[in-house]
Amino acid sequence: MSEESDETLLKRLAAGEERAARFLLARYLPRVLALAQRMLGSRSEAEDVAQEVFLRIWKQAARWQPGGARFSTWVHRVTSNLCIDRLRVRKSAPLEDAALIADPAPGAESRVAEAEQSARVAAALQSLPERQRLALILVHYQELGNRETAEIMDCTVEAVEALLTRARKGLKDLLLKDAAFDAPVKAVSGERQ
């Protein structure tokens, strides 16, 4: 993969270099897809979102102004917004079982337990209010700092911290209730952040 900065690749992309497009795709597609799949709980919807994100990247390349927001922040923001738009549309339609749509079927018997665990976490994530879920995905899975997460979510660092605390509490109640820990078990709050 290219070591060039995002800004350099965007300039080359604006000049019509297909290779620059390939480098940007290799750098960002796995991250965009992972964020969208964890937010939406659906691979096919995540792929649709990824296509839409890259369409915007291709169009934006020629107009990109260095010195403003970081490109990676912008990509995460666009992905997050597209996911939230889909979740809002979906609210009026019946929701599929998150555990069923969250993960592809395992290919071998030895992977069944792993896949079950993965599906369980996916379902628990889907039960969180969308902004709690987004904060947790950005910090835990995308490994972004709290400031960048706040910028993407258009809120303060303190608000990100509060969302994370509530998200993790909800997940602990759901996922660790059988483990030997001393915290009380409660249902996940249905609040919307």
Partner 1 sequence: MSAAGLDEQRLSELLAAYGADAARWPEEEAGALAGHPDLKSKIAKERALDEMLNAFKVEAPDAALSARILAARPGREMRHGTGVWRALMSALWPEGPVWVPMGTCAAALLFGLYIGASGALTAMSSDPQTETALLSLAMADSVLEENWDE
d(CA 43, CA 130): 17
Comparing CB distances to partner 1, the nearer of 93 and 102 is 102
Q: Output the smallest distance, CB 176 to partner 1, in A.
A: 6
Comparing CB distances to partner 1, the nearer of 77 and 140 is 140
Q: Measure the CA angle with vertex 140, ends 23 and 118; round to 5°.
A: 90
Q: Output the smallest distance, CB 76 to partner 1, in A.
A: 15
Q: Which residues contact 38 (CB under 8 A, 6 or more apart)?
A: 122, 125, 133, 137, 141
Q: Output the smallest distance, CB 92 to partner 1, in A.
A: 27
- Token pair belonging to 159: 């608000």
Comparing CB distances to partner 1, the nearer of 121 and 155 is 121
Q: Output the smallest distance, CB 93 to partner 1, in A.
A: 23
**Nearest CA to 190 among 170, 162, 163?**
170
Comparing CB distances to partner 1, the nearer of 84 and 159 is 159
Number of Cβ within a 10 Å radius of residue 23: 20
| Interface residue list for partner 1 (CB under 8 A) | 16-19, 21-22, 25, 29-30, 33-34, 37-38, 43, 47, 50-51, 54-55, 58-59, 102-104, 114, 117-118, 121-122, 125, 136, 139-141, 143, 145-146, 157, 161-162, 164-165, 168-169, 171-172, 175-176, 179, 181-183
d(CA 98, CA 132): 17
51 Cα distance to chain centroid: 15
Q: Output the smallest distance, CB 159 to partner 1, in A.
A: 11
